[in-house]
Amino acid sequence: MSSIRKLPSGKYQAQIRPVSGGKQLTKTSTKRYVVEQWLNEQTAALVTGTFTHPRAGRETFASYYAEWSQRQVWESNTMQAMALTVKYASFRDLPIKSITRAHVEQWIKLMQKGTGTSRKQPLAPGTITGRLRVARTIFRAALAEKKIPSDPTLGVKLPRLRKAEASMQIPTPAQVAAWLDHSESHWRALIALCAFGGMRLGEASALQVGDIDFLKRTIKIQRQVQRKGAEGGRPEIRLPKYGSERTIAAADGLLTELSKHIALLGLQGQPDAWLFTTGKEPAHHNTVGYAWRRSRDAAKLTGFTLHDLRHFYASGLIAAGCDISTVQHALGHSAPSVTLNTYTHLWPKAEDRTRAAAQGMFDAVFNPADESLTNKTRRSPQTRA
């Protein structure tokens, strides 16, 4: 219900009750058109669902997040990613209701330049995109709670992401062999797990002897090692990324490498023993990072990352004819779309399949299977007299 009345003082007062039985809002002015305009704005906001209480959204972006995050059910790594984004958001101390698209665009620009980031270095386009998604999640929560009238991240342009085929580095088999040959004996198995099991660093670091079933030729991925805290710290054992718990069908060669590793460290009969350790704890990211970089540099493969071995594994599965579902499960992706978005350029294109099928028909006609028995070679059309 809304109305405009003239007060004894001669001023005009508009009044509206947004919620039936709720508190009434008023606007007073000496000019009638001012209160009419205000009343029209409030009515339109109620109709379109963009109404916010005048007193709502006064808390800062950071304080709203602090209160809202306590009500969320998140994995610890998700919470860390959210907290890190909020900590370095350039508008974190502004009232959430006053944050505009211009503020968000300026934040994007600062991240591109490396200003206001944890390492004081420009962030990659993918990282910037991830942080904007985090901020958007928070703004949309505030929008749902009627704290803000609209989402200021809408329409914000992001740095262009490089295409997967341009940005992805896949080492050759010879380069992987050199990487393994130059690794220290007690780290060789970890590099092999990444190259021939497609494991992430944290997954490989968290393996225990009991996760390997030599009879069934499988390896279970059921935990990961992550650094505690948003910016590093002591190792922490967590569940794998969402959808990443899996059982890998291990190649015999990989199992042989793991068997040698277990014998090297004397871990036989110790199912709870960590395969890779830093003291009594599972291997820390810094220790593992130093080890694989040292072997990589010794093999003169500077420029590759440990994650490139995961790409090597995926490319091998695809080249062998594995379908999307198989590759998704082997890599522990949460959905087939993740696998496709990352590796779609590695799957044979329609013209490749057409060409291969046509060649198969050609071989069936001119190089039949019983050719060796007849000892006759059927000439192709081009060679016939």
pLDDT in tens, 357-379: 898 888 888 877 655 555 555 55
Q: Which SS3 state, helix, strand or coil, does residue 266 take?
A: coil
Q: Please state at what angle helix 336-343 crosses helix 324-331, rounded to 10 degrees.
A: 100
**Calpha distance 148→98 (Å, rounded):** 8
Tokens of 324: 């999307």
Cβ-in-10-Å burial (0-12, 13-18, 19+) of 238 comes to: middle
Handedness of CA 195, 198, 202, 204 (dihedral sign): negative
pLDDT, residue 35, reads 86
Per-residue 3-state assignment (H helix, E strand, C coil) for 304-369: ECCHHHHHHHHHHHHHCCCCHHHHHHHHCCCCHHHHHHHHHHHCCCHHHHHHHHHHHHHHHHHCCC
Query: Which residue from 148, 119, 145, 137 is spatially nearest to 58, judged by alpha carbons?
Result: 148
Average pLDDT over residues 64-88: 87
The amino acid that residue 175 corresponds to is Q
| Other Cβ atoms closer than 10 A to 24 | 11
pLDDT, residue 162, reads 66
**Calpha distance 29→256 (Å, rounded):** 84
pLDDT, residue 385, reads 44
pLDDT of residue 80 exceeding 50, the answer is yes
Q: What is the DSSP letter of 25?
A: E
Instruction: Out of 55-59, 188-192, 237-241, 332-336, pick the least confident.
Output: 55-59
Instruction: Out of 119-128, 230-239, 296-305, pick the least confident.
Output: 230-239
Q: What is the DSSP letter of 248?
A: E
Average pLDDT over residues 91-103: 93
Cβ-in-10-Å burial (0-12, 13-18, 19+) of 89 comes to: buried
pLDDT, residue 235, reads 73
Tokens of 50: 């963009």
pLDDT of residue 151 exceeding 60, the answer is yes
Phi then psi dihedrals of residue 291, to 5 deg = -65, -50
